[in-house]
């Protein structure tokens, strides 16, 4: 499926956006996307470990944006899986962004996605509201489209011990995205794997710092700013130690 062809779903069936905190007049927004499975048509259950894993990230972002009129929400998936060309998680992300734009207007929005949620965030990042993506251990399979990411800021964070999604695949995707005109930077988290549980505090703090930096609430780390400015073809700044 082409990266630009994430079609909206039929209206009126499933609300893909759930707010965690929403000021009266938000000037920006953050959406958090949890992981999932390659295949799975069942709805996520009431007890959903991939979703629970992301609540500390929600709380870290809420603390980091306190007083800044930033709405924070999560994307609710219809299905547990990506499901091939259906790209269900990406469609739900696009639907959530459409709901967000209708409710808040075209406010700058950062997507934070883990694993399948990282893939969904990257696939849906061409939406006009998206100011940037923080992809945590993203699932970036061979051939994942990147041409739609021109002008987008993509920050990739991957544990060096990840055995579920490939850190090298993340770097390769970032190279292709940069060649397509995206602005990319990446961190490699030492002694950490896919679940984001080992060195969890570092993951939470890093995601909050990168997110608030993308929203312009403070400067991004100097090494990230330098990497974002590198031209297409330069592999620098895509495997920064953390």
* Average pLDDT over the chain, rounded to an integer: 94
C-alpha to C-alpha distance for 118 and 138, rounded to whole angstroms: 4
The yes-or-no verdict on residue 3 having pLDDT over 90 is: no
Q: Tens digit of pLDDT for each residue in 85-111?
A: 999 999 999 999 999 999 999 999 999
CATH of 17-241, one of 3.20.20.70, 3.90.1310.10, 3.40.50.1820, 3.40.50.300: 3.40.50.1820
Domain spans of the chain, in order of start: 17-241
Instruction: Provide the pLDDT for residue 115.
Output: 98
Alpha helices (H) in the chain, listed in sequence order: 49-53, 55-64, 88-104, 116-123, 167-179, 200-214, 222-228
pTM equals: 0.93
Instruction: Provide the pLDDT for residue 45.
Output: 79
Residues 9-30: what's their mean pLDDT?
85
Quote the tokens at residue 171.
């770097």
Instruction: Provide the pLDDT for residue 139.
Output: 98
């Amino acid at each position: 499926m082409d990266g630009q062809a994430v079609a909206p779903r039929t209206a009126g069936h499933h609300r893909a956006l759930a707010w965690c905190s929403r000021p009266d007049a938000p000037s920006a927004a953050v959406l958090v996307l949890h992981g999932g499975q390659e295949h799975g048509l069942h709805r996520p259950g009431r007890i959903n470990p991939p979703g629970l894993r992301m609540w500390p990230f929600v709380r870290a972002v809420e603390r980091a944006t306190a007083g800044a009129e930033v709405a924070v929400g999560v994307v609710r998936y219809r299905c547990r899986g990506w499901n091939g060309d259906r790209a269900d998680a990406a469609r739900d992300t696009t639907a959530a962004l459409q709901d967000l734009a209708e409710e808040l207007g075209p406010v700058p929005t950062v997507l934070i996605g883990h694993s399948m949620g990282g893939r969904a965030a990257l696939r849906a990042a061409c939406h006009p509201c998206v100011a940037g993506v923080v992809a945590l251990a993203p699932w970036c399979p061979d051939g994942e489209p990147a041409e739609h990411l021109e002008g987008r800021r993509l920050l990739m964070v991957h544990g060096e011990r990840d055995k579920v999604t490939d850190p090298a695949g993340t770097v390769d995707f970032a190279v292709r995205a940069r060649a397509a005109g995206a602005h990319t930077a990446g961190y490699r988290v030492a002694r950490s794997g896919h679940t984001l549980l080992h060195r969890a505090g570092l993951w939470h703090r890093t995601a909050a710092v990168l997110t608030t930096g993308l929203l312009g609430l403070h400067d991004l780390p100097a090494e990230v700013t330098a990497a974002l400015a590198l031209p297409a073809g330069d592999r620098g700044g895509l495997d920064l130690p953390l």
